[in-house]
Amino acid sequence: MLTMNYTYRIYPNVVQQTELRSWLETCPGVYNYALRELKDWIASRKCSVDRCSLEKEYIIPADEPFPSYHRQQNNLPKAKKQFPHLGQVHSQVLQTTIRRLHDTWEAFQKRGHGFPRFKKFGQFKSFVFPQFKNNPINGFTIKLPKIGEVPINLHRPIPNGFKVKQVRVLSRIRGTQWYVVVTIESDISVPDVPVHGRAIGIDLGLERFLTASDRFFQERPKFFKSMQRQLKLLQRRAARKQKGSQNWEKAQIEVARMHHRIANRRRDFHLKTAHQLCDRVQTIFAEDLNVKGLTRGMLRKDCVDAAFGQFLSLTEWVCWKRGVYFAKVNPHGTSQTCPSCFATVSKGLEVREHHCPECGYRTHRDHAAAEMVLHRGQENVVSQGLWGTETACQVGLSGVYDLDKWRGAGIPNRETGKPAL
């Protein structure tokens, strides 16, 4: 079973936007009510039998079962009689809201932290229609239950053999832009991409966004920092408005639109860079970075602006779509090891050149790390017996072959120095 997500922009009218916003206000209320039941049941059973809690707690009978997903879902028809406004929302949308809470609860039990929190006003940005009897997309409109037909920008068609499984409605820029994430599935099975063809290792950094083992490199655009002055000006204007007024809301929309533009530019750069890598090679190895740790250091603003985690995720998706093998390796010590003789060469962050005192190999620090990533990746695939013959394995999906603007675009940026091995 193959499942994918396609994102499209939709253009609801004023009445439909009002209805969608009211649903996004109702769903958090259902979420918080179900969470309150869950917390009350836990609080009534966390104290010892021979003493009472110092804080006031609800007394729930001992034979009362745990408020599971199915119990709270079955209580929704009773809640609609008590609260008639719940009937305006599609029933399955409310069910998926309860499911969302219990998915968070189950994830909390597995990892031991991250207890579900109450949702404030405006925190719910999406809701889900979990199933459709017929295909909701008809031409350039999508039919949403209880909402009606909404114009959609179908910039790429649904591939043949796929059917729509569910649709998630997203609100962006404080409810001024709307998107749908269409989940499609097919019965076909796509085999894993084997290791084949030419292989490279890539190193991600802040001086250069990407450096490959074949000396190809990509400079790092500073998306946030380049627009930080404009964003600061918009935020200062918003702070001077009276909170809750119409002018304040307009100023907040301008700030949200600027953040949305920065995120779109960053994602576009990541996708184009991933496609450029797939045009060059058939096997890519990258470092398995601790992205969360990078966002807590001294250079956290630059690391968040570069978004290494998003780039690795998008690169993995593009490689799967393009039939390119992608794997991550252990990043420990890649910049402190000589790729020529594998001797340990300690150097601080201020040292940007690798010079091995053992073998005399000299190159850029990031290039040496990329060569070390390539060596570790080849060691892993050889030890696992994955290295095979070269093959052409691609899935016939829309957008895979529309890459003529990247192919034959010229010679990539290269350094001068020792040729790549």
400 is a domain residue: no
Q: Which domain holds residue 313?
A: 199-383
Where helices occur in 116-206 by DSSP H, the ranges are none
Does one domain contain both 244 and 113?
Answer: no
Q: Are 24 and 178 in contact (CB under 8 A)?
A: no
Does one domain contain both 158 and 289?
Answer: no
419 is a domain residue: no
Does one domain contain both 158 and 207?
Answer: no
Please provide the distance, in angstroms rounded to a whole number, between the alpha carbons at the two ends of the chain.
41
Does one domain contain both 130 and 234?
Answer: no
Write the pLDDT tens digit of every residue in 133-192.
899 999 899 999 999 999 999 999 999 889 999 999 999 999 999 999 999 999 888 888
C-alpha of 185 from chain center:
20
Query: pTM higher than 0.95, yes or no?
Result: no
As a whole number of angstroms, the distance between CA 231 and CA 374 comes to 40
228 is a domain residue: yes
Residue 307 DSSP class = T
As a whole number of angstroms, the distance between CA 114 and CA 116 comes to 6
Does one domain contain both 371 and 256?
Answer: yes
Confidence of residue 296 (pLDDT cuts 50, 70, 90): confident
Interhelix angle 91-111/14-43, nearest 10 degrees: 40
User: The tokens of 416 are what?
Assistant: 């001068």
Q: What is the mean pLDDT of the chain?
A: 87
301 is a domain residue: yes
Q: What is the dihedral of CA 147, 148, 149, 153, to 10 degrees?
A: 0
Write the pLDDT tens digit of every residue in 346-385.
888 888 888 888 888 889 999 999 999 999 999 888 877 6
Enumerate residues 6+ apart whose C-beta is below 8 A from 404: none
Specify which residues 208 forms β-bridges with.
Answer: 219
Does one domain contain both 289 and 246?
Answer: yes
Burial of 150 (0-12, 13-18, 19+ CB in 10 A): buried
Handedness of CA 51, 57, 61, 65 (dihedral sign): negative
216 is a domain residue: yes
- DSSP code string of 378-412: HHHHHHTT-B----------TTSS--TTTTTS-PP
Among candidate residues 310, 224, 233, the one with its CA nearest the CA of residue 259 = 224
Write the pLDDT tens digit of every residue in 402-413.
333 333 333 334
Does one domain contain both 28 and 109?
Answer: yes
Confidence of residue 418 (pLDDT cuts 50, 70, 90): very low
pLDDT of 206 higher than 70: yes
pLDDT of 334 higher than 70: yes
Does one domain contain both 164 and 246?
Answer: no
Among candidate residues 155, 134, 156, the one with its CA nearest the CA of residue 144 = 134
Mean pLDDT of 392-404: 39
Does one domain contain both 298 and 333?
Answer: yes
Confidence of residue 391 (pLDDT cuts 50, 70, 90): very low
Among candidate residues 307, 325, 329, 305, the one with its CA nearest the CA of residue 316 = 325
Q: Are 116 and 104 in contact (CB under 8 A)?
A: yes
As a whole number of angstroms, the distance between CA 322 and CA 278 comes to 7
Q: Are 206 and 303 in contact (CB under 8 A)?
A: yes
Q: Are 395 and 190 in contact (CB under 8 A)?
A: yes
Does one domain contain both 178 and 208?
Answer: no
- Would you mind telling me the total number of residues written for the chain in this entry? 421
How many domains, the chain? 2
Interhelix angle 228-239/246-280, nearest 10 degrees: 160
As a whole number of angstroms, the distance between CA 178 and CA 208 comes to 35
Final residue belonging to a domain, choices 117, 151, 186 = 186
Does one domain contain both 111 and 69?
Answer: yes
Q: Are 141 and 149 in contact (CB under 8 A)?
A: yes
